[in-house]
Structure 1
Amino acid sequence: MIDVILPELPERELALLSEETPQPSDPRLAGRVVLGGPVALPVTAELVEPDRDLLDFLETEADNAVYHLVHLSVTCARDAPAPALHSVNLDVTLTAEPVRRGTTVFPPVAWSMTPRQLTEKADATAPAFAARLGPRLGFRHGVRTAYGERVCLEARRELRSDPGWEIRHTPAVRIGGTYRMAMVVRAPRGAVSRAAVAVGATVREGHTLHRFREELAEPLRLTAFQ
């Protein structure tokens, strides 16, 4: 098992355009949601060398697959005026194109994701973030969620090409602060892989939910040492 300190993230404020009307973004949401990253780090033999089992795993995969650590964050304003954020979704779309024409490649997937679940009792907005990688490049997770605990952050669609996380408002915990997330991506060797990122948010006004969304114009290219 190894700990990897993930790189600092460049940040950008999101416009969050309405999904319901062609109107511009709601001015009440201006500056409310900031995306950090995404930033990718190739998983190399040098990175995992301290753990012999991880190094062996990477070597057995070397002919077919490469791995990347992708780091992102979402920062939501605390104690912002109404309307309050009801949920925030961070969605990633992973794609790959073969370098050579006429060849086929398997789709990249989110091999492992962290955090998997955080509850009202967990510290979802810790200022420091280290990825702890265990066997087969899977993240090591903390205590499992107990039955009946409300989940305020949850990873979605692991082992697929459309992974993401959902941050939820709960009666005890409002959405606010910085939520840090990471995934290990398994991608085909000999291909150009990319990660497109979009952030969605819902706000509740009375009994009505209004949906907003913004997609980054340029997908992140996942670069590996071939």
Structure 2
Amino acid sequence: MIDIILPELPERELALVSEEISGPSGHVPRPPAAALAGRVTLGGPLSVPLTTELVGRVPELKAFVESEASKADEAHSADYHLVHLSVSCAQEAASPQLHTVNLDLTLSAEPAGNRRAAFQPVAWSMLPLQLSEEVRATGPAHLGPRLGFVGQDRAARGARVCLEARRELRSDPGWEIRRTPTASIGGTYRLAMVVRAPRATVSRAAVEVGATVREGHMRRRFRAELPEPLLLAAG
């Protein structure tokens, strides 16, 4: 196992655009809401290739990275990348409260030269999987056998989950942050994933951030997409 120190990330304040309005059936449609600005800040994203040099002090991790990169069937050989992001949320007393905040990624691979991508990148492991009101992730991330995050557990039965990873082992992973009856959305949430991507291809991660707020019985949805996807550079 190795410890990965997740660095501080450059941040950008997002202006989330109104996406849709929902409420009780038969309600009178309302005009689109103004952009949701000053409430959600995105840190990163940042990508680091998980090379043999990075994990070399742990023999089993080095052997795993080498075996994945040099499979006899080249169509299934893979590179791994550590992707790090953060979401900071601010509550304002005079504004509707954030009900949910979602961070969604779309992973893709394009051919490099004449080689076609044999498979699409996937979220191999995600951190955190779940957080409850009582537990917040702190300290370094721990990468264990087969480059999976270790030392994290799901929330205890009956605990109110305020953050949850979605769609692990797929190309459309993400996290959802939720307001609970006793805890509002606020502060900074540090997020990381290991991406498994085909070798000798150009892999990218498009990032979208969404949020919902409640106004009485109405729910408004907002979303922003980063203009440029994150390039997952090979080591």
* CA distance in structure 2 between the aligned counterparts of 1:110 and 1:50, rounded to whole angstroms: 24
CA RMSD of aligned residues (A): 1.7
CA deviations over 1:46-75 (Å, ceiling 9, x no partner): 111121111111111012110000000000
SS of 1:14's equivalent? Answer: strand
- The answer on whether the counterparts of 2:122 and 2:169 sit within 8 Å (CA) in structure 1 is yes
Aligned with 1:163 (options 173, 178, 187): 173
Residue 89 of structure 1 aligns with an amino acid whose one-letter code is: N
Could you tell me which runs of 5 or more consecutive residues in structure 2 were left unpaired when the two chains were aligned: 22-30, 71-76
Q: Would you say 1:96 and 2:96 are equivalent positions?
A: no
What is the deviation of 1:24? 6.7
* CA distance in structure 2 between the aligned counterparts of 1:137 and 1:78, rounded to whole angstroms: 36
* CA distance in structure 1 between the aligned counterparts of 2:151 and 2:174, rounded to whole angstroms: 17
What is the deviation of 1:120? 1.0
* CA distance in structure 1 between the aligned counterparts of 2:12 and 2:33, rounded to whole angstroms: 18
> Once structures 1 and 2 are overlaid, which stretch shifts more, 138-147 or 178-187?
138-147
- Deviating above 4 A after TM superposition, structure 1's stretches of 4 or more consecutive aligned residues are 21-24
The residue that corresponds to 2:87 in the other structure is 74
Residue 88 of structure 1 aligns with an amino acid whose one-letter code is: V
- The answer on whether the counterparts of 2:55 and 2:62 sit within 8 Å (CA) in structure 1 is yes
The residue that corresponds to 2:19 in the other structure is 19
Given the two structures, how large is their TM-score scaled by the length of structure 1? 0.92
Given the two structures, how large is their TM-score scaled by the length of structure 2? 0.89
> Once structures 1 and 2 are overlaid, which stretch shifts more, 141-150 or 3-12?
141-150
Residue 53 of structure 2 aligns with an amino acid whose one-letter code is: E
> Once structures 1 and 2 are overlaid, which stretch shifts more, 97-106 or 55-64?
97-106
SS of 2:152's equivalent? Answer: coil
Q: State percent identity of aligned pairs.
A: 66
Residue 7 of structure 1 aligns with an amino acid whose one-letter code is: P
SS of 1:7's equivalent? Answer: coil
CA deviations over 1:175-220 (Å, ceiling 9, x no partner): 0000000000000000000000000000011122110000000000
* CA distance in structure 2 between the aligned counterparts of 1:80 and 1:182, rounded to whole angstroms: 30
Aligned with 2:125 (options 88, 91, 112): 112
Q: Would you say 1:10 and 2:10 are equivalent positions?
A: yes
The residue that corresponds to 2:73 in the other structure is none
